[in-house]
Chain A
Amino acid sequence: ILNVEQSPQSLHVQEGDSTNFTCSFPSSNFYALHWYRWETAKSPEALFVMTLNGDEKKKGRISATLNTKEGYSYLYIKGSQPEDSATYLCALMAGGSYIPTFGRGTSLIVHP
Protein backbone atom coordinates (compact mmCIF):
# COMPACT_ATOMS: atom_id res chain seq x y z
CA ILE A 1 0.00 0.00 0.00
CA LEU A 2 1.52 3.33 -1.07
CA ASN A 3 1.83 6.04 1.57
CA VAL A 4 0.43 9.29 0.20
CA GLU A 5 0.46 12.08 2.76
CA GLN A 6 -1.30 15.43 2.51
CA SER A 7 -0.70 18.43 4.74
CA PRO A 8 -2.15 20.29 6.38
CA GLN A 9 -5.26 18.26 7.17
CA SER A 10 -7.36 21.44 7.25
CA LEU A 11 -6.87 25.09 6.56
CA HIS A 12 -8.92 28.21 7.27
CA VAL A 13 -8.07 31.36 5.32
CA GLN A 14 -9.63 34.73 4.65
CA GLU A 15 -10.99 35.70 1.27
CA GLY A 16 -8.16 37.11 -0.82
CA ASP A 17 -5.41 35.13 0.92
CA SER A 18 -3.16 32.94 -1.15
CA THR A 19 -2.54 29.46 0.15
CA ASN A 20 -0.74 26.26 -0.65
CA PHE A 21 -0.71 22.69 0.50
CA THR A 22 1.43 19.62 0.00
CA CYS A 23 1.12 16.08 -1.26
CA SER A 24 4.06 13.78 -0.37
CA PHE A 25 4.61 10.36 -1.86
CA PRO A 26 7.28 7.68 -2.38
CA SER A 27 9.59 8.90 -5.14
CA SER A 28 10.44 5.47 -6.47
CA ASN A 29 8.48 4.04 -9.42
CA PHE A 30 6.48 7.22 -10.01
CA TYR A 31 4.02 7.20 -12.91
CA ALA A 32 1.53 10.05 -12.42
CA LEU A 33 -0.06 12.32 -9.83
CA HIS A 34 -3.63 13.60 -9.89
CA TRP A 35 -5.20 16.52 -8.02
CA TYR A 36 -8.95 16.59 -7.40
CA ARG A 37 -11.32 19.11 -5.85
CA TRP A 38 -14.13 17.66 -3.77
CA GLU A 39 -16.93 20.03 -2.79
CA THR A 40 -19.38 19.10 -0.07
CA ALA A 41 -22.29 16.95 -1.30
CA LYS A 42 -20.65 16.50 -4.69
CA SER A 43 -18.22 14.01 -6.17
CA PRO A 44 -14.48 14.64 -6.66
CA GLU A 45 -13.58 16.43 -9.88
CA ALA A 46 -10.17 16.32 -11.51
CA LEU A 47 -8.01 19.43 -11.51
CA PHE A 48 -4.69 18.24 -12.88
CA VAL A 49 -2.76 15.19 -14.02
CA MET A 50 1.00 15.53 -13.68
CA THR A 51 3.51 13.11 -15.08
CA LEU A 52 6.92 14.76 -15.50
CA ASN A 53 9.36 16.03 -12.90
CA GLY A 54 9.18 19.81 -12.91
CA ASP A 55 5.64 19.85 -14.34
CA GLU A 56 3.67 22.99 -13.61
CA LYS A 57 -0.04 23.12 -14.35
CA LYS A 58 -2.45 26.04 -14.02
CA LYS A 59 -6.22 26.46 -14.14
CA GLY A 60 -7.38 29.96 -13.34
CA ARG A 61 -6.16 30.87 -9.86
CA ILE A 62 -5.10 27.30 -9.05
CA SER A 63 -1.70 25.92 -9.97
CA ALA A 64 0.36 22.87 -9.11
CA THR A 65 3.98 21.83 -9.25
CA LEU A 66 5.59 18.41 -9.18
CA ASN A 67 8.94 17.14 -7.88
CA THR A 68 9.20 13.41 -8.53
CA LYS A 69 12.81 13.15 -7.35
CA GLU A 70 11.98 14.24 -3.82
CA GLY A 71 8.40 12.97 -3.88
CA TYR A 72 6.13 15.98 -3.45
CA SER A 73 3.62 18.16 -5.23
CA TYR A 74 2.33 21.57 -4.19
CA LEU A 75 -1.11 22.99 -4.95
CA TYR A 76 -1.38 26.78 -4.87
CA ILE A 77 -4.51 28.92 -4.79
CA LYS A 78 -4.00 32.61 -5.46
CA GLY A 79 -6.48 35.07 -3.98
CA SER A 80 -8.76 32.46 -2.36
CA GLN A 81 -12.51 32.90 -2.77
CA PRO A 82 -15.31 31.35 -0.70
CA GLU A 83 -16.19 29.14 -3.69
CA ASP A 84 -12.71 27.57 -3.39
CA SER A 85 -13.84 25.95 -0.14
CA ALA A 86 -13.52 22.21 -0.67
CA THR A 87 -11.38 19.21 0.12
CA TYR A 88 -8.39 18.87 -2.19
CA LEU A 89 -7.23 15.32 -2.85
CA CYS A 90 -4.07 14.07 -4.46
CA ALA A 91 -3.75 10.56 -5.89
CA LEU A 92 -0.55 8.76 -6.82
CA MET A 93 -0.26 6.28 -9.66
CA ALA A 94 2.83 4.09 -9.39
CA GLY A 95 4.33 2.17 -12.25
CA GLY A 96 3.37 -1.47 -12.28
CA SER A 97 -0.07 -1.14 -10.71
CA TYR A 98 -1.36 2.11 -12.27
CA ILE A 99 -4.01 2.26 -9.55
CA PRO A 100 -4.72 5.69 -8.02
CA THR A 101 -3.91 5.73 -4.30
CA PHE A 102 -5.43 8.72 -2.55
CA GLY A 103 -4.17 10.87 0.26
CA ARG A 104 -6.60 11.84 3.02
CA GLY A 105 -7.08 15.32 1.60
CA THR A 106 -6.71 18.92 2.75
CA SER A 107 -9.94 20.62 3.76
CA LEU A 108 -9.88 24.30 2.79
CA ILE A 109 -12.39 26.79 4.18
CA VAL A 110 -12.30 30.33 2.84
CA HIS A 111 -14.03 32.87 5.05
CA PRO A 112 -15.66 35.92 3.41
Chain B
Amino acid sequence: DADVTQTPRNRITKTGKRIMLECSQTKGHDRMYWYRQDPGLGLRLIYYSFDVKDINKGEISDGYSVSRQAQAKFSLSLESAIPNQTALYFCATALSGANVLTFGAGSRLTVL
Protein backbone atom coordinates (compact mmCIF):
# COMPACT_ATOMS: atom_id res chain seq x y z
CA ASP B 1 0.00 0.00 0.00
CA ALA B 2 1.14 3.53 -0.74
CA ASP B 3 2.39 5.68 2.12
CA VAL B 4 0.09 8.52 1.04
CA THR B 5 -3.21 7.50 -0.54
CA GLN B 6 -5.52 9.87 -2.39
CA THR B 7 -9.09 9.11 -3.42
CA PRO B 8 -10.58 9.44 -5.94
CA ARG B 9 -7.77 9.34 -8.50
CA ASN B 10 -9.98 10.76 -11.21
CA ARG B 11 -13.29 12.59 -10.98
CA ILE B 12 -15.48 14.38 -13.47
CA THR B 13 -18.20 16.56 -12.04
CA LYS B 14 -20.48 19.42 -12.96
CA THR B 15 -20.44 23.06 -11.98
CA GLY B 16 -22.05 23.64 -8.60
CA LYS B 17 -21.52 20.14 -7.22
CA ARG B 18 -19.80 19.52 -3.89
CA ILE B 19 -16.66 17.46 -4.16
CA MET B 20 -14.43 15.94 -1.51
CA LEU B 21 -10.91 14.69 -2.13
CA GLU B 22 -9.53 12.48 0.58
CA CYS B 23 -5.98 11.85 1.71
CA SER B 24 -4.72 9.31 4.21
CA GLN B 25 -1.17 8.48 5.22
CA THR B 26 0.67 5.73 7.03
CA LYS B 27 3.90 7.71 7.47
CA GLY B 28 3.02 8.98 10.93
CA HIS B 29 3.77 12.52 9.75
CA ASP B 30 2.24 15.48 11.55
CA ARG B 31 2.34 17.87 8.61
CA MET B 32 -0.10 17.53 5.71
CA TYR B 33 -0.59 19.73 2.67
CA TRP B 34 -2.89 20.13 -0.31
CA TYR B 35 -1.35 21.48 -3.51
CA ARG B 36 -2.88 22.18 -6.89
CA GLN B 37 -1.00 21.76 -10.16
CA ASP B 38 -1.95 23.62 -13.33
CA PRO B 39 0.09 23.43 -16.53
CA GLY B 40 2.78 26.09 -16.53
CA LEU B 41 2.06 27.20 -12.99
CA GLY B 42 3.80 24.60 -10.87
CA LEU B 43 2.50 23.45 -7.51
CA ARG B 44 0.49 26.00 -5.54
CA LEU B 45 -0.46 25.54 -1.90
CA ILE B 46 -4.16 25.44 -1.03
CA TYR B 47 -4.20 24.52 2.68
CA TYR B 48 -1.86 22.97 5.20
CA SER B 49 -2.02 21.48 8.67
CA PHE B 50 0.75 20.91 11.17
CA ASP B 51 -1.42 19.04 13.66
CA VAL B 52 -4.94 17.71 14.09
CA LYS B 53 -6.16 21.02 15.53
CA ASP B 54 -4.17 23.20 13.18
CA ILE B 55 -5.55 24.42 9.83
CA ASN B 56 -3.94 27.16 7.73
CA LYS B 57 -4.75 28.80 4.42
CA GLY B 58 -2.26 28.66 1.64
CA GLU B 59 -1.74 30.81 -1.42
CA ILE B 60 -5.01 29.87 -3.17
CA SER B 61 -7.55 28.82 -0.52
CA ASP B 62 -10.61 30.64 -1.92
CA GLY B 63 -13.31 28.17 -2.94
CA TYR B 64 -11.80 25.34 -0.88
CA SER B 65 -12.09 24.05 2.66
CA VAL B 66 -10.30 21.28 4.54
CA SER B 67 -10.78 18.97 7.47
CA ARG B 68 -8.07 17.22 9.48
CA GLN B 69 -10.09 14.36 10.91
CA ALA B 70 -7.12 12.60 12.46
CA GLN B 71 -3.34 12.71 12.25
CA ALA B 72 -3.54 10.39 9.27
CA LYS B 73 -6.42 12.00 7.35
CA PHE B 74 -6.70 15.37 5.60
CA SER B 75 -9.65 16.04 3.28
CA LEU B 76 -10.10 18.83 0.75
CA SER B 77 -13.61 20.01 -0.16
CA LEU B 78 -14.92 22.12 -2.99
CA GLU B 79 -18.29 23.33 -1.76
CA SER B 80 -19.52 24.41 -5.19
CA ALA B 81 -17.15 23.36 -7.93
CA ILE B 82 -16.41 25.70 -10.84
CA PRO B 83 -14.61 24.96 -14.13
CA ASN B 84 -11.43 26.84 -13.19
CA GLN B 85 -10.95 24.36 -10.36
CA THR B 86 -10.19 21.75 -12.98
CA ALA B 87 -6.66 20.66 -12.04
CA LEU B 88 -4.45 17.93 -10.64
CA TYR B 89 -4.53 17.94 -6.85
CA PHE B 90 -1.74 16.54 -4.68
CA CYS B 91 -1.76 15.69 -1.01
CA ALA B 92 1.67 15.65 0.66
CA THR B 93 3.01 14.92 4.11
CA ALA B 94 6.19 15.78 6.00
CA LEU B 95 7.71 14.90 9.33
CA SER B 96 8.88 18.28 10.63
CA GLY B 97 11.52 20.92 10.15
CA ALA B 98 13.33 20.84 6.83
CA ASN B 99 12.17 17.35 5.93
CA VAL B 100 11.06 16.72 2.35
CA LEU B 101 7.48 16.08 1.31
CA THR B 102 6.04 12.67 0.48
CA PHE B 103 3.38 13.02 -2.20
CA GLY B 104 0.29 11.03 -2.96
CA ALA B 105 -0.41 9.87 -6.51
CA GLY B 106 -2.64 12.85 -7.26
CA SER B 107 -6.35 13.36 -7.90
CA ARG B 108 -7.34 14.65 -11.31
CA LEU B 109 -10.51 16.70 -11.10
CA THR B 110 -12.48 17.93 -14.10
CA VAL B 111 -15.33 20.37 -13.57
CA LEU B 112 -17.63 20.72 -16.56
Contact = CB atoms under 8 A, between A and B. Distances in A.
Contact of A102 (B42, B99, B100, B104): B42
Interface in B76-110: 90, 97-106
A108 interface: no
Contact of A99 (B58, B90, B103, B104): B58
Interface extent on B, as a size class? Answer: 20 to 34
A104 B90 contact: no
A11 interface: no
A35 to B, nearest CB: 9
Given A89-B43, A99-B58, A43 B104 contact: yes
A105 B45 CA distance: 15
Secondary structure at the B interface, as helix, strand, loop or mixed, is loop
Interface in B23-71: 33, 35, 40-45, 48, 58-59
A1 B57 CA distance: 12
A102 B99 CA distance: 15
A74 interface: no
Nearest to B99: A49
B101 to A, nearest CB: 6
Contacts of A91: 43, 101
A46 B98 CA distance: 12
Given A43-B106, A44-B103, A89 B42 contact: yes
Interface of B: 33, 35, 40-45, 48, 58-59, 90, 97-106
Interface of A: 1, 31-32, 34, 36, 42-46, 49, 51, 89, 91, 93, 98-105
